[in-house]
Structure 1
Amino acid sequence: MNRIQNVLNTKNKMLIPYITPEFPIKGVTLPLLEGLFDAGSDMIEIGIPFSDPIADGPTIQHSSYVALKNGASFKKILDDVSKFREKYPTPIILMGYYNSILSRGIENFVVEAISNGVDGVIVPDLPIDEADKLIEISQRYGLSNIFLVAPTSSDERIKLVSEKSTHFVYCVSVMGVTGEREEFGGEDFENFMLRVRANSNKPFVVGFGISKRDHVLEAWRWADGAVVGSALIKKLFNIDEISKCVKVAFEFISELKNGLVEEKK
């Protein structure tokens, strides 16, 4: 059974952290993945660093810049995922811009991802209307496609994205770029969630702006999972030891998921 489907079958509400590989320190990616598993992450999203990340706010843009300086690459990401996969079943989802995929060739990208233990891919700048080739190749090899809907998406668009997404839909909670926000939820968000619930036949998760336990609980009230990215990345700013990065990430994700901080030995 696909690892993503297995999680969807066995978990009630999911917490999905996002990391930028090799940020903030060279060599941190694999230990960080292991720490996030220990913290109870249900899936883990890994961003493919890109020089022009149009959907990302300043926090993740900065992390991509640092990651590229630290030698992050598609090959290095896959090497770390492959090593992680030797011990851990947690689904790994890559988030990458379409140019990164095209530069490798769609089929090469999919084959390499699957063969190294990647489970799914999110391509934020690929419109669903232009995704047929990626979908066809991904289906052939078993890579899950996760597409995005936003508050401006029509009911018809939500239905189409739900149909085309393999296992679940990613809901962008607010318009704009990624980034942590002080407030999360509200009437507009609730109306959006009601429309997604009414028009999607797939599970759905919520991302963008989630940075606190209360935000996670609000996301869980409406959706099947919450994605936390910028808030985690920001916690890692200016840390210069791998072990401290792992400890900070472990404690933050444990707190978001469980409402308490467990001590990382």
Structure 2
Amino acid sequence: MSKIKQKFSELEAKNEKALISYIMVGFPNERATLSAVKGLVKGGVDIIELGFPFSDPMADGPVIQHASTISLEKGTKINNFFNLVKKIRKITDTPLVLMTYTNILYSRGYPKFISEAKKAGIDGFILPDMSIEESEEYLKAAKGKTDTIFLISPNTSKKRINEIANVTSGFLYLVAVYGTTGVKAGIKNYTLKAIKEVKKQTRGKIPVGVGFGVSTPADVKKYISVGADAVIVG
């Protein structure tokens, strides 16, 4: 059982849901990242999502884009990142998910990157620009090593949800709002409806996490109240 799956099982046994927190590594520096991780662990976060900077982060809003730019300017590289993850692993055994873009892995080679990431302490990947049609080579390399968390949106068809859920592990990531990450104006009814429908469709086979535009504790409570198994905040 993967560390992420084990975490959800532990929470389910206690009738609890998961709080997943996102931070951009290397922003504004490595020391700050380690300090943030310590704070998240102390605060009781269940899973930590580590963003690795990319020059064209299409899924991210202006705040995370800015953090990504600063991190790159400060010299964040893959090897630095793996060393940082090893340091984080000395602090906590909290599941760690790497969110970045496909080219970061592809340029190093999927098997090599995934093996190095796993060895450092990464438990799963979120690659927002990777479609399931393009994922065969990646999934082959990740099988048995790390979880792969694919994204769906409120307007994803039922057929497509089934296809994505069949190759997703760890949890299914439901994007709460259309557009990029960041603060949005209130909870949308279409999101609440989507959570209910996705939960019904997946029938408990995989946890459903909701992220993008989660701005307040009230947002978290509302998403949980309609069936979300996890909420992602960053």
Q: TM-score, normalised by structure 1?
A: 0.82
Which of 162, 165, 173 is residue 162 of structure 1 equivalent to?
165
Equivalent residue number for residue 6 of structure 1: 6
User: How far 1:31 sits from its partner (Å)?
Assistant: 2.0
Task: Tell me which amino acid in the other structure corresponds to 1:8.
Answer: F
- Higher RCO (CA < 8 A, seq sep 6+): 1
Asked whether the equivalents of residues 49 and 64 of structure 1 are also in contact (C-alpha less than 8 Å), the reply is yes
Q: How many residues align?
A: 227
| Matching of residue 226 in structure 1 with residue 228 in structure 2 | no
Distance 2:135 2:84 in 1: 27
- Residue by residue, what CA displacement relative to the aligned partner does 1:134-154 show, whole Å, maximum 9, x if unpaired? 1111014x1100000001210
- Residue by residue, what CA displacement relative to the aligned partner does 1:52-92 show, whole Å, maximum 9, x if unpaired? 00111111101100111122222222111111212411000
User: How far 1:26 sits from its partner (Å)?
Assistant: 4.6
Asked whether the equivalents of residues 26 and 71 of structure 1 are also in contact (C-alpha less than 8 Å), the reply is no
Secondary structure of residue in 2 paired with 1:15: strand
Asked whether the equivalents of residues 126 and 148 of structure 2 are also in contact (C-alpha less than 8 Å), the reply is yes
Distance 1:86 1:23 in 2: 20
Which of 84, 89, 94 is residue 88 of structure 2 equivalent to?
84
Equivalent residue number for residue 263 of structure 1: none
User: How far 1:13 sits from its partner (Å)?
Assistant: 0.6
* Aligned 1:53-132 pairs, distance under 5 A: 53-132=57-136
- Residue by residue, what CA displacement relative to the aligned partner does 1:107-150 show, whole Å, maximum 9, x if unpaired? 1110010000100000000011211111111014x110000000
Percent identical pairs in the alignment equals 36
Structure 1 runs of 4+ aligned residues shifted over 3 Å read none
Q: TM-score, normalised by structure 2?
A: 0.93
Equivalent residue number for residue 38 of structure 1: 42
Give unpaired runs (5+ residues) of structure 1.
230-265
User: How far 1:44 sits from its partner (Å)?
Assistant: 0.4
Task: Tell me which amino acid in the other structure corresponds to 1:55.
Answer: A
Distance 2:197 2:137 in 1: 28
Task: Tell me which amino acid in the other structure corresponds to 1:10.
Answer: E
- Residue by residue, what CA displacement relative to the aligned partner does 1:2-49 show, whole Å, maximum 9, x if unpaired? 211221111121111100112124521222212111111100001110
Distance 1:76 1:32 in 2: 17
Distance 2:3 2:201 in 1: 25
Equivalent residue number for residue 17 of structure 1: 21
RMSD of the TM alignment (CA)? Answer: 1.3
Distance 1:21 1:187 in 2: 33
User: How far 1:168 sits from its partner (Å)?
Assistant: 1.1
Q: After alignment, is 117-126 or 174-183 more displaced?
A: 174-183
